[in-house]
């Protein structure tokens, strides 16, 4: 699965950009890094399981 190219920064509301190649494939549980263009914060997210994407209950 591919990670979103951009996410919204939780701290400032700016745009965070994916630090990996946009066409890179990730597996559930893989870490994915982003950097905010506005505040320069780094966000490391974990790719969800396929069930998590569908909104399945835990």
Give CA–CA dist 38/52, Å, rounded: 29
Q: How many residues does this entry show for the chain?
A: 58
The string of pLDDT tens digits covering residues 18-55 is 999 988 999 999 999 999 999 999 999 999 987 655 55
Give CA–CA dist 10/43, Å, rounded: 9
- Whole-prediction pTM value? 0.80
Residue 29 lies in a domain: yes
Residue 1 lies in a domain: no
Residue 45 lies in a domain: yes
Give CA–CA dist 5/18, Å, rounded: 5
Question: Smallest Cα–Cα separation from 35: which of 55, 6, 56, 2?
Answer: 6
Q: Who wins on pLDDT, 47 or 58?
A: 47
Residue 20 lies in a domain: yes
User: For the chain, what is the domain count?
Assistant: 1
Residue 43 lies in a domain: yes
Q: Which domain holds residue 29?
A: 6-53
Residue 58 lies in a domain: no
């Amino acid at each position: 699965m591919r990670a979103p190219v951009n996410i919204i920064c939780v701290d400032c509301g700016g745009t965070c950009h994916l630090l990996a190649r946009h066409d890179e494939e990730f597996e559930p549980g893989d870490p994915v890094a982003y950097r905010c263009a506005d505040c320069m914060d780094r966000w490391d997210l974990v790719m969800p399981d396929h069930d998590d994407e569908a909104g399945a209950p835990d």
